[in-house]
Structure 1
């Protein structure tokens, strides 16, 4: 099973930093920064830091794990992190550099039902989790488990 990491990134304005993916000829959707754990990553948090840096040009302050979910091919570990700064020019990696992969636009979105409900946010498990917590007015920091590696 492929191991993946994703970050629910909170900006200084307490908004979510998401990636708007647009594929050539495809329908745009939003997703969390993250990706596959590589063999040379020390652990899940190191993989997450690397992925966030590649995809946002910023450094995350990882607060803890929010959830883990599986599908038929991969296991996703979703962490909560704060990000103070990000940079379009600091982004790296094959997905950013190859125009055949489409565009990866960074968007700040409110953690509120009205802002999240109309977005095609993937994966669906993350969308459901964020919509549920927004509707309940839950503080994501309270839900993050800092003891999970």
Structure 2
């Protein structure tokens, strides 16, 4: 049995606010239906850990700080030349200041829309949260995720 090399690593957050809402990014692209995604992004060589990468990404994408808990899910998907791995962490929102966002998402309009939204965790079944495996995981584990996020307060 051969294994594919990991060619990309990223860290993402299931980020809950104090009202049990997921803080997500609503993506709009011309010619596509809207979809929602969790905040996060690539782990750079300069990042000491996946958690450090996630904290950097939360600041860039949301202007947010958070208490980051443990990894709750690992998602792998085939990509050109190997496999992409996403580490998904539970996190609790501390602060959010959209004016402090610095990521390219906000400065390059050609990338489409990036709207920060708060979705009640019990209503995830009403949106197209991507990837689908993440959506299924949230729906199957609502109570546990809320309890874990609450413990991070």
Q: TM-score range by the shorter chain?
A: 0.7 to 0.9
Distance in 1 separating the partners of 2:30 and 2:96: 25
Deviates more, 1:80-89 or 1:42-51: 80-89
Aligned to 2:34: 28
1:122 is aligned to 2:124: no
Runs of at least 5 residues in structure 1 that lack an aligned partner in the other structure: 145-149
Q: Which runs of 4+ in 1 moved over 4 A?
A: 141-144
Cα deviation digits, residues 20-67 of structure 1 (max 9, x gap): 001122211000001111111111011000011111101111011111
- Cα RMSD after superposing both structures: 1.7
Q: Which residue of the partner structure matches residue 139 of structure 1?
A: 144
Assess if the C-alpha contact under 8 Å between 2:11 and 2:43 holds in 1.
yes
Query: Paired residue for 2:10, among 4, 14, 27?
Result: 4
Matched length: 140
TM-score, normalised by the number of residues in structure 2: 0.85
Match of 2:69 in 1: 63
Larger radius of gyration: 2
The match for 2:43 is: 37
1:78-110 deviations in whole A, cap 9, x for unaligned? 001111221221111112210001111111111
Deviates more, 1:119-128 or 1:87-96: 87-96
- 2:25 aligned with 1:15, yes or no? no
**Whose strand proportion is higher, 1 or 2?**
2
